[in-house]
Structure 1
Amino acid sequence: MLYDTPRLEAMDETVLGEIEEMRRDLKYRLAETHRWDGQLRRQLQARAIQGSNSIEGYRASVEDIESIMSGEDPLETSAGVAREITGYQQALTYIQLLSRSPVFGFDTGLLHALNFMMIGHHVDKTPGTVRPGGIYVRNSATGEVVYEGPDAGEVPGLLGELVEWLNSGDLDAPSYVRAAMAHFNLVSIHPWRDGNGRMSRALQTLVLGRDQITTPEFSSIEEWLGSMENTVDYYRVLSARGRRNWSPNGDTLHWVRFCLRAHHMQAQQVRRRLSEAGEVWMLLEGQTDAEGLNARTVSALYEVFVNRRLRRTRYQTDESLSQGQAARDLRDLAARGWLRPYGETKGRFYAPGPRMQAIKDEFAARVTPLRDPYRLD
């Protein structure tokens, strides 16, 4: 027996309608090709990976995650955390492919395989196989047990029931609701010795991807969940009303509302970033044109607008340049005050120079707060 999908109330239907409206808007915007699409998509995927892993205590900057995604060594992140990031990126990449696959079905083998992709470097944790014994989730600050998973003997049957539901259960429920319940049931079953939280968040993204909810980079709520205040709320809602062990008979509407709110807030954030991307790119195009710079340098400037730093290899790859061309462009931009170089050889990177920082500050000053869809005032 799994946790049941709750019946929505009028306010939930309203929030769902607003999410769908934003989804359609994003879909139309993404149908048009823009020069900044690739960089924005990469940044959003990196932020999703960052969010999901930071919840588990594996912290890395967006810039380092983008380096790991492209096969480069990160500048600051430890080798251990980099392995966690690499495993999670591998699983998300596969989820993106599965979202578009014409032949697909959920099965336990797929779930185990995704878990192995994420934590296969932890051979001692028997990745990709059902845990052999009990499992306890503890409060990292106090050591207190906050949740006890079902007995190991029950796990194979519960996973089989979950897979059956994923393929044929509650198909008339909204995709966002089904995805939230897939997340909740998997994390409650806690079938593996490690990676249960990351797997559950990834499964939520896969359920949405199979229902063609834009693309995983734009539909994932992992970035939203990974911010400090939201992470606290995430754990609070998961353990609401003293649910300290497997007891699939409680009301899950509070959890679904939490997820709907997260989708709404994340969609607002992504929509704002898409609008900002176009405005910033056009502004930078105008500046580089006025100074007689090559149009390709806009991608370097945009990268340091959205992130803290840029490496020469990133710009070189994005624009298909030789090492010499990329280095000359970046030196020129630094000389003009757009970029500021730091470090030497492999550790060299470029941060915003005074001219770019002025643009970043201007945009930061006019960001309006996101709207909580469940607040009536």
Structure 2
Amino acid sequence: MLYSTPALQAFDKAVLAEIEDMRQELKYRLAEPHRWDGRLRRQLQARAIQGSNAIEGYRVGVEDIQSIMAGEEPLEVSSLVAREIAGYQQALTYIGLLSRAPDFRYDAGVLNALNFMMIGHHRNKTPGVVRPGAIYIRDSVSREVVYEGPDAELVPGLMDELVAWLNEGDLDAPSPVRAAMAHFNLVNIHPWRDGNGRMSRALQTLVLGRDLIMTPEFSSIEEWLGQHRATIEYYDVLGAVGRRRWSPHGDTLDWVRFCLRAHHMQAQRVAARLSQAGEIWTLLEEQVDADGLNTRCVSALYEAFASRRLRRSRYQADEELSQGQAARDLRDLTAKGWLQPYGETKGRYYEAGPRMVRLKDEFAERVTPLRDPYRSRP
């Protein structure tokens, strides 16, 4: 027996309708290709990876995550943490492919494979294999047991039941609701020795991706969940709804509401980023033209605007340039006051120069606060 999908109340349905409206609007806007779309997708995936791993205590900057995604050495991350990030990135990349696979069906093998991708470097934790014994979740400070997973002998049957539900259960439920319940059931089954939280959030992203409204990076809420306050709320609601041990009964509506709120807030954020990307790219095109620089330099400037740090290799790959061409462009941008170089040789990177700092400050003052869909209702 799994935790049941709850019935939504009227204002839950109103929040869900707003989420769907925003997702449809994003889908229409993404249907027309733009030069900045690939950069925005990459940033969103990096932020999703950052958010889900931050919940587990692995804190990495977006710039280093993008370096790991590109197969480069990160500048400020230990090798241990880099392996955690690389494993999660591999799993999310596979989820992106599964989201578009025409004949896909969920099965335990897929879930075990994703777990192996995430934590395969921890061979002592038997990655991709269902745990053989009991599992306890402890408070990181008090060390008190806050959750006990179901007995090990129950886990294979529960996983079979979850897989059957993923393929056939509650198919008339809205995708964000089904995704939330997939997350909740998997994290409470806690089938592996490690990686259960990240796997549950990744499964939520996969369920969202399978509805084909948008690619996973535009529908994931992992970035939102990784924020400090949201992470605290995340654990609080998991504990309150799931209780202290496997007990698949009771109302799960508070959990679904938490996820709907996260979807709404993240959708607002993504829509704002998409609008800003178009505006800043156009503005940078005008500035590059006025400076007499090659139009391709906009790509480097956009990366410097959207991220804290730019590396030559990433700009070179984005624009398919030779090393010499990329280096010359970055020297020109530095001379014009757009970039500021740091470090030497392989460790060299660029941050915002004086002109870019002013531009960032100008846009920072124009940020529109996000609207909490539940607090704005009676």
TM-score, with length taken from structure 2: 0.99
Which residue of structure 1 lines up, in the alignment, with residue 231 of structure 2? 231
Is 1:141 the counterpart of 2:141 in the alignment?
A: yes
1:263 maps to amino acid:
H
Which residue of structure 2 lines up, in the alignment, with residue 340 of structure 1? 340
Listed as ranges, the matches of 1:179-328 within 5 Å are: 179-240=179-240, 243-328=243-328
| Post-superposition offset of 1:241 | 5.6
Which residue of structure 2 lines up, in the alignment, with residue 34 of structure 1? 34
* DSSP 3-state at the match of 1:177: helix
1:49-83 CA distances to partner (integer Å, 9 max, x unpaired)?
00001100111110000000010000011100110
* DSSP 3-state at the match of 2:341: strand
Could you tell me how far apart the structure 1 residues matched to 2:319 and 2:26 are?
26
Give the unaligned 5+ runs of structure 1: none
Q: Which runs of 4+ in 1 moved over 3 A?
A: none
Could you tell me how far apart the structure 2 residues matched to 1:322 and 1:169 are?
52
| Post-superposition offset of 1:150 | 0.5
* DSSP 3-state at the match of 1:341: strand
CA contact (8 A) 2:3 2:249 kept: yes
Which residue of structure 1 lines up, in the alignment, with residue 23 of structure 2? 23
2:199 maps to amino acid:
M
2:42 maps to amino acid:
R
2:372 maps to amino acid:
D
| Post-superposition offset of 1:368 | 1.4
| Post-superposition offset of 1:376 | 2.8
Could you tell me how far apart the structure 2 residues matched to 1:162 and 1:123 are?
26
Which residue of structure 2 lines up, in the alignment, with residue 91 of structure 1? 91
Which residue of structure 2 lines up, in the alignment, with residue 171 of structure 1? 171
Could you tell me how far apart the structure 1 residues matched to 2:242 and 2:46 are?
34
Give the unaligned 5+ runs of structure 2: none
| Post-superposition offset of 1:213 | 3.0
Could you tell me how far apart the structure 2 residues matched to 1:101 and 1:368 are?
37
| Post-superposition offset of 1:188 | 0.3
Could you tell me how far apart the structure 2 residues matched to 1:175 and 1:22 are?
14
TM-score, with length taken from structure 1: 0.99
| Post-superposition offset of 1:348 | 0.6
Which residue of structure 2 lines up, in the alignment, with residue 54 of structure 1? 54
2:113 maps to amino acid:
A
1:184 maps to amino acid:
F
Could you tell me how far apart the structure 1 residues matched to 2:144 and 2:346 are?
44
Could you tell me how far apart the structure 1 residues matched to 2:141 and 2:370 are?
30
Percent identical across equivalent pairs? 76
Q: How many residue pairs align between the two structures? A: 377
* DSSP 3-state at the match of 1:60: coil
